Amino acid sequence: MCDEIADVCAMALRVLADNFYWDYRNWKHAQGEKEAHEKELEILRKFLEKYGNALSGEERKKIEHRIEYAKDRIEEAEKAIKDYFNALVEDKKELERLLGEELSLKGVSGKG
């Protein structure tokens, strides 16, 4: 690689690495959101299992509402995970095109 091309590549790399960083971060962030809601759901379900029979109708409904809310958020997070993953695949392709070699970045081979 001659000096000029290397410098252009370096400039492009800074932009692409930044994109990659944000898409990777958002992808993992969405995975974290999904997991956090799953844990929340688990606690609420276990609570309902243990105290459900003794709860008043009103409180039971509130807990059930929270469960439904968590389920909806999990669905949304799953969609976001797919979207960010697709963006990440594009970033990876661009980086490979720029660097002329295959990237073997662990963790970017599945849909999480």
Partner 1 sequence: MELIVMKDHEESEKAQKIIEEALWYGVLDEVLHITVLKDKSELDKTSKDLGIQKVPALRAKGRWYQGLDEIQSFLNSFKVYRRIKESSANRCAVVIKHLTKTFFEIYHGWKSAQAVVEAYQKMLQLYRNFLEENNDVLSEDLKAEIEAEIAEAEEALSAAKTTAEEYHETLRDLERGIKIVFGCDWGVM
Let me know how long the chain is.
112
Shortest CB 45 distance to partner 1, Å: 10
The least distance separating partner 1 from the CB of residue 26, rounded to whole angstroms, comes to 8
Distance separating alpha carbons of residues 79 and 58, to the nearest angstrom: 32
The count of chain residues that interact with partner 1, using the rule CB under 8 A, is 49
Using alpha carbons, select from 61, 71, 62 the residue that is nearest to residue 40.
71
Q: Is 31 in the site for partner 1 (CB under 8 A)?
A: yes
Q: Residue 37, interface with partner 1 (CB under 8 A)?
A: yes
Contact between 40 and partner 1 by CB under 8 A: the answer reads yes
Q: Does 87 bind partner 1 (CB under 8 A)?
A: no
CB atoms closer than 10 angstroms to residue 97: 10
